[in-house]
Amino acid sequence: MEYKILDGKATSAAIKARLAEKVKEIVANGGKRPHLTVILVGSDGASMTYVANKEKFCREIGFESEVLRLPESVTEDELLKKVEVINRDDSVDGLICQVPLPKHIDAQKIIAAISPFKDVDGFHPVSAGRMMLGLPTFLPATPYGIMTLLKEYKIPTRGKHCVVLGRSNTVGRPIANLLSQKGEPGDCTVTICHSKTPNIEEFTKRADIIIVALGVPAFLKGNMVKDGAVVIDVGITRIPDVSKKSGFRLQGDVDFPSVAPKCSYITPVPGGVGPMTIVSLMENTIKAMYSSSSV
């Protein structure tokens, strides 16, 4: 079977151009530039790279952006106070606290302290609750990006069986909820599988759509997928590779060489879901401009 690539890089670039035009229009009409603030604690390499990409993206589409860099030794109380200051700053539209956080800080407590009106990551309990009820809210960026990719490529979802591998609060659970809701994309029958699910291949072999968000490199193999399936790979792991200048290569949760020939559509890694995540954050930030600025 000849598969087609769900190209997140190209799709995000098209959305990026639209967002840049929207920002120009807002400013031309006397409005303020969208303003995103990111709190970065410590010096985790992957987090620093991700935050740098967000800064670059903001510059390219005309956003105001800043990164508040804090030492790994910052206390939970100190971080909560920083969050509170930004919550009350009407010039800031969106606030992200980059995870993972040091072990001495309760990430859930920090997320809950962010104003729901500035929660462009979509992780606040209010955002999660509104999403579950199908109410307007900030959607978590990666699930939002997946839904956008399905919509842009006009992938049929109504009545399809979708299997989600992974039950995290950032990807697995929210994407399962979104795809089960009424609408297009949506109206799926959704099964969530995880590390305690026996015989996962019995579920994946029957799936029309498979979303893999386990963090286990090359987990999904060709013999686990039926012909014509749509496969979306959320995983991204650095694998040591001496042949690369960087010393590593990026590997998704899908064994691409064996899975792709069975698919109708499949995302690559890199260049699939990753770029869609960042563009979704920017879309949330523009939405945040029009929400209440009060805490």
For the record, the structure tokens of 65 come out as 């952006």
Q: Which CA distances in Å does 122 have to 4, 31, 73, 183, 226?
A: 30, 24, 26, 20, 33
The C-alpha atoms of residue 272 and residue 290 are separated, in whole angstroms, by 29
Cα of first residue to Cα of last residue in the chain, in angstroms, is 53
Q: Is 121 an annotated catalytic residue?
A: yes
Rg (CA), the chain: 19
Count of beta carbons in the 10 Å neighbourhood of residue 240: 8
C-alpha atoms less than 13 angstroms from C-alpha of 176 in its C-beta half-sphere: 18
Taking alpha carbons only, the member of 136, 140, 106 closest to residue 123 is 140
Judge whether 94 and 34 are in contact, CB under 8 Å.
yes
DSSP per-residue codes, 91-145 = T--EEEE-SSPPTTS-HHHHHHHS-TTS-TTS-SHHHHHHHHTT-S-PPPHHHHH
Tallying the residues shown for the chain, one arrives at 295
Q: What angle do CA 70, 32, 79 make, to 5 degrees?
A: 20
Q: Is 54 an annotated catalytic residue?
A: yes
Q: Choose, from 7, 93, 121, 233, the residue flagged as catalytic.
A: 121
Q: Choose, from 7, 93, 98, 160, the residue flagged as catalytic.
A: 98
Q: Choose, from 54, 82, 118, 160, the residue flagged as catalytic.
A: 54
Helix 273-289 with 8-28: angle, nearest 10 deg: 20
User: Which residues are known to be catalytic?
Assistant: 54, 98, 121
